[in-house]
Structure 1
Amino acid sequence: MLAACAGMTPKPATTPWNDARQLVLVTTADWNATTGTLRRYERNGGQWRQTGETTPISVGRNGSAWGLGLHSPQPDAPQKQEGDGRAPAGVFRIGTAFGYADTASTAWPYEGMGASDWCIDVPASPLYNRIVDAKQVGDAAVEGSTEPMRRDLHANGDVRYKLGFVIEHNAGNRSGAGSCIFAHLWRAPGEATAGCTAMPEPAMRELLAWLDPRRKPIFALLPRNELERLHAQWDLPAPMHAE
């Protein structure tokens, strides 16, 4: 009996993302690292398998911290807060893609941004952590926000939001828990962000072309030691030995 049990295949982990068949996985060296790698994975009822090339990325200027996502709360280590300069760690749904153009080469839901579109990063606002159109909500509602979605028009030609997607951290919009978390382009290789994940434009275009709504993709960001600790429990790929 024991021998039979020893030969049994381990039962797959049960997680809120069991239905995911695509995974965007960002790994950093530790909680304070500002750069890391992004890998894309797919599965068809079995193990996760990497597809495509490994991509260099940058994260928050102060590293990362536990965010609010699909994963269970993790009381140890830093916790994401508004303005802390850390990227949220954990497992998250992927939200709407966005950019400066009206359309993009992707099957993923996409919205072209205009000069009146803002993401609200004011914790006291009832619109906190939401992308809104000032033409609809009024100029007063976006007052104080530092996140125009057309940074090319409001921030001296900034290209970072030319193409990207929402990472659904703090989907319940808890005040002060962190807002406006995106994957977007970087201005220069390795340049840290305020809390987002940044990458080269070709990598973003390839990623968006790959995302398939039918495969219910998720986004995960973890320091290497946390991925080592949690990958089996959370049904994620084990960390790569060579970065």
Structure 2
Amino acid sequence: MRAGPSSGVRRARAVMAAACGTVLMALAGCGGPVGGDGAKNGVPGAPRRTAGPAAGPSRAERPRPAAVPGDDPAALPGVGARLRAAIPADSGQALVVYGEGRDASDATVVLYGLGGDGWRPLGGWPAHNGRNGWTTDHHAGDGRSPVGVFTVTDAGGVLPDPGTRLAYTHGRAYYAPPSSWSPAYQHDFDYVIAIDYNRLRGVPPHDATRPWGGARGGSIWLHLDHGGGTSACIGLSAEAMRFLLRTLDPARDPVVVMGDREDLLA
């Protein structure tokens, strides 16, 4: 009779990453019934972490540029002086998440590139943010996405690197959600891009280090959309995530500027 899996194998199979806003909570997905959050360190097997030149998005994945009205065509549209001042001087790419309301989970995401004539849109997509909306004082479990300007340095996922310049971790640190979850959540973590909120830059997204402490939340990612609000992450289509992974360039110091439209303009 064939022996069953060892206890160590069974434990390894039970590990999974649930992203979005607080520390790891088992069997909890981003936007799921309990709320998701973080990924576990120390998963057996070393994940593969790569960084190198990207081929760029394919023609089929290139979205139509999307514009958001603004009073100054050279300024970052829809973003006021307070948050513009927080964008590093060397940043040449800005991914702006325009939340539809302080308590709403619907959003529009636009990637801008900085050129000689100012910020110009490279693509735009519908998205979802925290199920309870936005906050300027995010804490673990509040179901709200943090308002602010955050750098972007690291990515990873269940699926292999699609060709990104960001450091990319692909391996056993990212598990597909268990079959007990709704089908809508099964591919949340196919691709993730870490938003540098309460995390160390230059480490894989699943690293659970919280410089400001666990109460301030963490593991806030861009990841695949499941059709509704998240625990704090930003959900986007697979096409949008592949485009971003192939377009974001660490040499241009990309940032995420995110919040509801009112707070963005403040």
How would you bin the TM-score normalised by the shorter chain?
0.5 to 0.7
> Which moved further from structure 2: 200-209 or 39-48?
39-48
Q: Aligned AA for 2:161?
A: T
RMSD: 2.2
The aligned residue for residue 51 of structure 2 is none
The aligned residue for residue 175 of structure 2 is 150
Measure how far apart 1:97 and its partner are. 0.7
What percentage of aligned pairs have identical amino acids?
28
The aligned residue for residue 89 of structure 1 is 147
Residues 171-214 of structure 1 deviation map (CA, whole Å, 9 limit, x = unaligned) = 324230011100000123xx111110001110111111111111
TM superposition score normalised by structure 2:
0.59
After TM superposition, the structure 1 = structure 2 runs for residues 58-137 of structure 1, keeping only pairs within 5 Å, are: 58-66=128-136, 79-114=137-172, 117=173
The aligned residue for residue 142 of structure 1 is none
Q: Pick from 19, 22, 27: which aligns with 2:93?
A: 22
Measure how far apart 1:29 and its partner are. 2.2
Whether the 8 Å contact between 2:86 and 2:149 is mirrored in structure 1 is no
Whether the 8 Å contact between 1:104 and 1:110 is mirrored in structure 2 is no
User: What is the alpha-carbon distance in structure 2 between the residues aligned to residue 84 and residue 184 of structure 1?
Assistant: 19
CA gap of 1:18–1:61, structure 2 versus 1, over 3 A, is same
User: What is the alpha-carbon distance in structure 2 between the residues aligned to residue 202 and residue 155 of structure 1?
Assistant: 26
Q: Aligned AA for 1:167?
A: I
Whether the 8 Å contact between 2:153 and 2:166 is mirrored in structure 1 is no
Q: Aligned AA for 2:95?
A: V
The aligned residue for residue 246 of structure 2 is 209
CA gap of 1:192–1:199, structure 2 versus 1, over 3 A, is same
The aligned residue for residue 189 of structure 2 is 161
Gaps of 5+ in 1: 1-11, 67-78, 118-148, 230-243
Q: Aligned AA for 1:219?
A: V
Measure how far apart 1:14 and its partner are. 5.3
Q: Pick from 230, 255, 258: which aligns with 1:218?
A: 255
Q: Pick from 221, 232, 252: which aligns with 1:182?
A: 221
Aligned residue-pair number: 171
Q: Secondary structure at the match of 2:216?
A: coil
Structure showing the higher strand proportion among its residues: 1
Q: Aligned AA for 2:125?
A: T
Whether the 8 Å contact between 2:140 and 2:218 is mirrored in structure 1 is yes
Q: Secondary structure at the match of 1:31?
A: coil
Residues 115-141 of structure 1 deviation map (CA, whole Å, 9 limit, x = unaligned) = xx2xxxxxxxxxxxxxxxxxxxxxxxx
Gaps of 5+ in 2: 1-80, 200-210
Whether the 8 Å contact between 2:87 and 2:255 is mirrored in structure 1 is no
CA gap of 1:212–1:155, structure 2 versus 1, over 3 A, is farther
Q: Aligned AA for 1:179?
A: G
2:112 counterpart of 1:41: yes
